[in-house]
Amino acid sequence: MSTFPFSAVGFDLDGTLCDTFRDLGAAVNHALRLGGLSEVSVESSKDLIGGGAKIMLARAVEAQGGLPEPEFDALYKQMLRFYAENNAVHTVPYPGALEAMDRLASHGVKLAVVTNKFEAFATSLLGQLGLSERFVTIIGGDSMGKGPDGKFRAKPLPDPVIEARARCGGGRFAFVGDSTYDVAAARGAGVPVVVAAYGYCDKPPHELGGDAVIDSFHGLIPALERLG
């Protein structure tokens, strides 16, 4: 019987499991071009990530003075259409990710993805990368439906993390993410959270309030063992 302290581990996708910023940045720039706005540098697009594609585009547009809502919504739809067709051009798992997941699986640990990317996009991307079968469940930003406020029940709400734990059979669950959204969701769900300092952190990694901070996937298993 495995003595590993967690029965399941959940991962954020963008900036945690996979390095996705180049494809996300290309989708944002596609929308900006259509709107007659200036493109962002692909490298700086990392700073826009967090909270989902709509928030990412909104940050880029607002930095240039904003747009009327109908125009923004039209660009957002174009961004989604482009990303659906180009979401795995440059995206790759982070170094050490596959090995870490193999080690977790060898301990009988179930794996989940909890992302604010729409479920269809997350499933498509992970499928193209040959990773889908590793996960018991893939929960996207739209998977939990909308709350009374009309907004998707996504991170930073704890709902998707709680659901991921349930789909993994309950038991001890830990979450790995790179943003305030991830830490807040894990905290709300009452599960420990490991901060991926190599990702697209929206605050300095050690200020995000995680239970552990790792500089690469090579530190994940030891961090989880310490937390257990």
Whether residue 12 lies in the annotated active site: yes
Q: What is residue 48's DSSP assignment?
A: G
Peptide bond preceding 204 in cis form (omega within 30 of 0): no
- Cα torsion through 43, 47, 50, 52, rounded to 10: -60
Q: What is residue 152's DSSP assignment?
A: B
Q: Which of 12, 14, 19, 23 is catalytic?
A: 12
Rounded CA gap, 30 and 33, in Å?
A: 5
Please name the residue that has the structure tokens 């406020």: 149
Count other C-beta atoms under 10 Å from residue 54's C-beta: 17
Catalytically active residues, by annotation: 12
